[in-house]
């Protein structure tokens, strides 16, 4: 394991933060409606400073009410999914683990589809709230069946997640088969990831969950390092393994539930970003968690920008773009066997 110092963590975090700022600025300047890049940036900075003057009212609305909230929301979701993926991979010691492995995504999808079928999607909080409740209920059921003798067994928990996820996937197929044509389009687009409904309210919904979740997981980064060497070794070194697993599983699951509730299912982000960071910086979670958050945010913002500009004015689901990048990358990792070596 590479030696990690506070100076190294801060240096890499600052560099990745600068990359994130650059990607946000790039995202704000791009779209189906042409606004000159320099004017877009001027509008953004003048708004931050509380000034007015640059651009027309329409241009300011496009930049400040559409593009900027969308980029911020994509950044939060990308950060949350990446940190959740890194956590599940460590706890389950499974290089193929991702944020949706415990069936959280299926639970969120069932909640969202029920809201769409009931017409609750027209309310600003209807779809995210139903999706989050569905994910939260799924987490409770999975943990109920995944605990034995007061302990969390990774294999039992994983099996419970797979079984419940499969059952919920069957429910999703049933709801799709009985839905109307206009509802079907909304459901399918949501299942493939969609940031078209981004706004300040959606950001406020997920902000506390992702911020607190990532903070709690970072505080336990040293313990996550120890658990990689085996639970017995971690116990001998004074780690309360059961408490660590419970808090970490719940934190990662809540981050995933909040992320899925506002944008739908976006694959590969929580799978490939942690692996990429491990390959570049090593597996130490003191650096892995903040680096995954920042790089995951940049990656998803860039993917969403590409999705809404590639065939503009037609907008692609962002999940299509992440899969297009993530699939070949993960195949490459499997072929070179670096996925196994990084854990």
pLDDT digits (tens, 9 = 90+) for 126-178: 677 888 888 889 988 988 888 777 777 888 888 888 899 899 989 988 888 88
Q: What does the alpha-carbon distance between residue 112 and residue 106 come to, in Å, rounded to a whole number?
A: 10
pLDDT of amino acid 98: 84
Task: State the Cα–Cα distance between residues 240 and 193, nearest whole angstrom.
Answer: 37
pLDDT at 206: 87
Specify the pLDDT at position 319: 87
Is this structure's pTM higher than 0.85? yes
- How does the average pLDDT of the chain come out, rounded? 85
Q: How far apart are CA 308 and CA 304, in angstroms?
A: 6
**How far apart are the C-alpha atoms of 170 and 181, rounded to whole Å?**
19
DSSP lists the bridge partners of residue 152 as: 147
Cα separation, 16 vs 42, in Å, equals 23
Question: What is the CA angle 156-157-158, rounded to 5?
Answer: 90
Where do the domains of the chain lie, and which CATH numbers do they carry?
A: 6-341 (1.10.3470.10)
Q: What is the secondary structure of 125-176 as a DSSP string?
A: THHHHHHHHHHHHHHHHHHHHHEETTEE-HHHHHHHHHHHHHHHHHHHHHHH
- How many Å apart are CA 338 and CA 335, to the nearest integer? 8
Angstrom distances, CA of residue 270 to CA of 29, 77, 277: 27, 10, 11
Q: Contact 95/343 with Cβ under 8 angstroms?
A: yes
Low-confidence ranges of the chain (pLDDT < 70): 1-2, 53-55, 121-126, 181, 333-334, 336-343
């Amino acid at each position: 394991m590479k030696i990690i110092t506070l100076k190294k963590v801060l240096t890499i975090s600052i560099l990745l933060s600068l990359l994130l700022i650059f990607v946000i600025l790039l995202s704000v300047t791009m779209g189906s409606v042409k606004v000159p890049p320099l004017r877009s940036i001027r509008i953004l900075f003048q708004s931050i400073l509380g000034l007015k003057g640059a651009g027309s009212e329409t241009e300011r609305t496009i930049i400040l009410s559409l593009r900027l909230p969308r980029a911020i929301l994509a950044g939060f979701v990308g950060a949350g999914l990446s940190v959740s993926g890194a956590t599940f991979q460590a706890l389950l010691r499974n290089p193929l683990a991702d944020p949706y492995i415990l069936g959280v995504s299926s639970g969120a999808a069932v909640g969202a589809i029920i809201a769409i079928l009931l017409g609750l999607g027209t309310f600003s909080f209807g779809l995210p709230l139903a999706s989050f409740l569905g994910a939260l209920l799924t987490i409770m059921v999975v943990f109920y069946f995944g605990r034995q003798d007061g302990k969390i067994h990774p294999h039992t928990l994983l099996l419970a997640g797979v079984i419940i996820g499969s059952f919920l996937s069957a429910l999703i197929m049933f709801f799709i088969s009985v839905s109307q044509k206009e509802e079907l389009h909304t459901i399918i687009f949501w299942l493939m990831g969609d940031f078209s409904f981004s706004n300040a309210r959606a950001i406020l919904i997920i902000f506390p969950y992702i911020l607190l979740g990532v903070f709690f997981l970072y505080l336990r980064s040293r313990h996550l390092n120890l658990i990689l060497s085996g639970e017995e070794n971690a116990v001998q070194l004074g780690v309360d393994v059961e408490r660590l697993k419970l808090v970490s599983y719940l934190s990662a699951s809540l981050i995933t539930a909040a992320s899925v509730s506002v944008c739908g299912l976006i694959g590969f982000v929580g799978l490939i970003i942690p692996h990429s960071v491990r390959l570049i910086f090593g597996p130490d979670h003191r650096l892995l968690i903040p680096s995954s958050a920042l790089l995951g945010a940049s990656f998803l913002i860039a993917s969403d920008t590409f999705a809404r500009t590639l065939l503009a004015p037609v907008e692609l689901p962002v999940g299509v773009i992440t899969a297009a990048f993530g699939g070949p990358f993960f195949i490459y990792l499997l072929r070179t066997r670096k996925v196994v070596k990084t854990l």
